[in-house]
Structure 1
Amino acid sequence: MTPSRHVSVGIAAPAERVYAYAVDPTHLPAWAAGLARSTVERVDGHWVAESPMGRVRIAFARPNDLGVLDHVVTLPDGEEVLNPMRVLPDGDGCEVVFTVRHREGMGDEELESDCRAVLADLERLRDLLEEGLARRAPADDWPRRRRSPPA
């Protein structure tokens, strides 16, 4: 078993809207600085971004109505990292939970640093959605909004 930590934030926005916004890879630079520093683009059928780790490929789970935002990040060296992520409905709002895995060779401080970075990203996501700065995605378009299946 791989040790892990769950990092979460509550968002005062409907789960459907949060999912529809977060599952769109082109929105990642607005809220996920730990993953995408600049424009996310389709290259040879894959979502590709410049990240703090270098050029990475990102593949989200297939569109679903359960709020599953799991995604695999393929690092520049070819290593694939699964990042479990969920949008959990909670009344009129939701909770977004990201699981940070303790990877082989990772020290405790690096794990803590990753958790802080994930929390900062989730807080940006929350702020965008609560302040209405995120482009509104209609709830009736959930989960069809994402057009391309992962590679």
Structure 2
Amino acid sequence: MGTESRHLSEHIDRPAQLVYEYAADPANLAHWAPGLGASVRLEAGRWLVDVPGGSAEVVFVPHNDLGVLDHEVHLPGGGIVHVPFRVLADGEQSEVVFTVRRMPGMTDAEFDRDAAAVAADLALLKEILETRPR
């Protein structure tokens, strides 16, 4: 059986390209994903964040025209967490879709907490982008 996943989404009243460009910049993580991004920093060409046990590297897929923002989090112990993340065009608006995967050994409460944190991050992304001047 595969890993349990939840697909969380948020509609944003901004064009997909604008949403993609903002979310694709790791420096913006501190603004819209404060749980992860508060510690984001660029060191020797690598984007790092603080996690339990040390620093993790966040590696995004190359810039693309498809709205794909998938990334990997390379954990201090050598594990890699794959994170699917997309920006989808919806007419003149967009939808962001983020897949939260249950990690091995994660309790229901921990999985719910992770999903709630991501939902809050996506709501903040929406708020930030919709309050910026067009």
In 1, the alpha carbon distance for the partners of 2:50 and 2:37 equals 6
Map of 1:24 onto structure 2: 25
Give the C-alpha shift of residue 44 in structure 1. Answer: 2.5
User: CA, structure 1 residues 121+85, in 2 after alignment: closer, same or farther (shift >3 Å)?
Assistant: same
Structure whose residues are more often helix by fraction: 2
User: TM-score, normalised on structure 1?
Assistant: 0.82
The code of the aligned residue for 2:65 comes to D
Map of 2:4 onto structure 1: 3
Map of 2:107 onto structure 1: 107
Where do 1:109-128 residues align within 5 Å?
109-128=109-128
In 1, the alpha carbon distance for the partners of 2:123 and 2:53 equals 21
Identical amino acids, percent of aligned pairs: 50
- Structure 2: unaligned runs, 5 residues or longer: none
In 1, the alpha carbon distance for the partners of 2:54 and 2:16 equals 31
- Give the alignment's Cα RMSD to 1 decimal: 1.7
Give the C-alpha shift of residue 80 in structure 1. Answer: 1.0
Task: Determine helix, strand or coil for the equivalent of 1:34.
Answer: helix
1:85 equivalenced with 2:78 (yes/no): no
Q: Decide whether the 8 Å contact of 1:9 with 1:126 is kept in 2.
A: yes
Task: Determine helix, strand or coil for the equivalent of 1:123.
Answer: helix
User: TM-score, normalised on structure 2?
Assistant: 0.91
Where do 1:1-151 residues align within 5 Å?
1-38=2-39, 40-51=40-51, 54-132=54-132
In 2, the alpha carbon distance for the partners of 1:53 and 1:31 equals 23
Aligned residue pair count: 133
The code of the aligned residue for 1:96 comes to V
CA offset digits 1:46-77 (Å, max 9, x no partner): 11123577522111111110100001012232
Q: Decide whether the 8 Å contact of 1:36 with 1:51 is kept in 2.
A: no
Give the C-alpha shift of residue 42 in structure 1. Answer: 2.2
